Amino acid sequence: MTKKIKTSSALKEQKGISQPEMTSQDSIDRIKKKRTNQISADALAHDILKGNITALSRGITLVESKNKDHLNEANALIMKCLPYANKSIRIGITGVPGVGKSTFIEAFGNLLISLGKKVAVLAIDPSSSLSKGSILGDKTRMEDLVKQPNAFIRPSASGETLGGVARKTRESIILCEAAGFDIIIIETVGVGQSETAVHSMVDFFLLLQLTGAGDELQGIKRGIIEMADAIAINKADGDNLKRAKIAKIEFDRTLHLYPEKSSNWQPKTAICSALNNEGIDAIWKIIQEYIQVTTKNGFFNKKRNEQNKFWLIQTIENQIKTDFFNRSKIKKELQKQLELIELNKTTPFACLLYTSPSPRD
């Protein structure tokens, strides 16, 4: 007799389950479908809340899934985890490629773990959505940290728009917090729009810089400096140490020229050597001070509230956009308009007349 296939949870699937007698494509498809359905939000949430890392990984895969069937389960999972989230410190780290982000996160993460924290590292990598390859994923990164039982490192979801990756990262934060991670580090390459996305989901934003503030300062986008709660000049070692100290003074001067932040926090500067593990604890002290100051003056909670509102609006906007482009009438009309554009028979702006949504569509 054929053993009954357990359908409640794929996590509990045992070795040695006998094969079904029929192996037609049809039956294979049916089995595949069954397996997919086995990703049950209940079971995953249960295991995530117990701190099970495999379940956390699977949960993130579920929220990242583009499969429409997974959407409901993913939403259910987020809802179940939400009451247990919100209890961490979320830190955004940005800087140009090569500034030392992974080396820094390795040193910083290990310091936090030595202090008894559980550290999750998530990445938002805009390059992965453009080139389908990932700057962040190319390297063997954070080799030590990755081995720590209290660390969880997850590269960015690839092949998505920045908006898509950002939303999924935000949901992943919730799952990591539910799994008991109390420090969430969101890393991004400081080359595009991703800093704004990261800024909209973290409590503290750290900009890593190299020396040579004077001239190079011109090249750094003003907006990124404005967002930073602290600027750390990395690679402050060897011959570079003196220049790093000068750069720090320059940055201090620059930061004082910026308008006061609504957090009442005056952004700090620091020098560090991620490679030599120097100055890392001072940066943790700055972050702790920030948390203390902003918790006391109410900004910490206010900012999280504002971020939640922002994400609510983003979610609605996304939903409206998806619904709109999925309408059969719009799909047909859009195709027609695209062809007309190619023939120079219309303008991109004239399309508005044809595609403006009507409630009767």
Residues that bind ligand GDP in the complex, under the rule CB under 6 A: 95, 97-103, 139, 234-235, 237, 273-275
> For residues 191 and 277, what is the distance between their CA atoms, to the nearest angstrom?
26
Angle at 34 between CA 32 and CA 38, to 5 degrees: 115
| Of residues 97 and 214, the one with the C-beta less far from ligand GDP | 97
Q: How far is CA 37 from CA 46, 70, 159, 335, in A?
A: 17, 8, 24, 35
- Write down the least CB distance from residue 142 to ligand GDP, Å: 9
Q: How far is CA 190 from CA 60, 87, 96, 174, 270, in A?
A: 24, 27, 5, 24, 19
Angle at 222 between CA 162 and CA 192, to 5 degrees: 20
- Write down the least CB distance from residue 176 to ligand GDP, Å: 20
| Of residues 95 and 180, the one with the C-beta less far from ligand GDP | 95
Strand 183-189, strand 89-95: pairing: parallel
Token readout for 79 is: 């809802």
- Write down the least CB distance from residue 97 to ligand GDP, Å: 4
| Of residues 221 and 331, the one with the C-beta less far from ligand GDP | 221
| Of residues 103 and 150, the one with the C-beta less far from ligand GDP | 103
Please give the full DSSP string across 200-260, using - where no structure is assigned. TT-SEEEEEE-S-HHHHGGGS-HHHHHH-SEEEE---STTHHHHHHHHHHHHHHHHHHSPP
| Of residues 125 and 177, the one with the C-beta less far from ligand GDP | 125
Angle at 231 between CA 228 and CA 237, to 5 degrees: 160
| Of residues 102 and 209, the one with the C-beta less far from ligand GDP | 102
| Of residues 41 and 198, the one with the C-beta less far from ligand GDP | 198
| Of residues 282 and 352, the one with the C-beta less far from ligand GDP | 282
| Of residues 226 and 237, the one with the C-beta less far from ligand GDP | 237
| Of residues 103 and 134, the one with the C-beta less far from ligand GDP | 103
Residue 118: helix, strand or coil by DSSP? coil
Closest to 357 in 3D by CA, of 316, 321, 312: 321
- Write down the least CB distance from residue 203 to ligand GDP, Å: 22
- Write down the least CB distance from residue 240 to ligand GDP, Å: 7
- Write down the least CB distance from residue 282 to ligand GDP, Å: 14
Residue 142 · residue 102 · CB < 8 Å: yes
Q: Phi/psi class of residue 84: alpha, beta or left (left: φ > 0; alpha: ψ in -120 to 50)? A: alpha
- Write down the least CB distance from residue 278 to ligand GDP, Å: 8
- Write down the least CB distance from residue 59 to ligand GDP, Å: 26
- Write down the least CB distance from residue 152 to ligand GDP, Å: 18
Residue 157 · residue 164 · CB < 8 Å: yes
Residue nearest to ligand GDP (CB): 100
Q: Where are the alpha helices (DSSP H) in 122-178?
A: 126-131, 135-138, 162-178
- Write down the least CB distance from residue 224 to ligand GDP, Å: 14
> For residues 306 and 47, what is the distance between their CA atoms, to the nearest angstrom?
30
Closest to 53 in 3D by CA, of 157, 186, 184, 179: 179
Token readout for 27 is: 């039956």
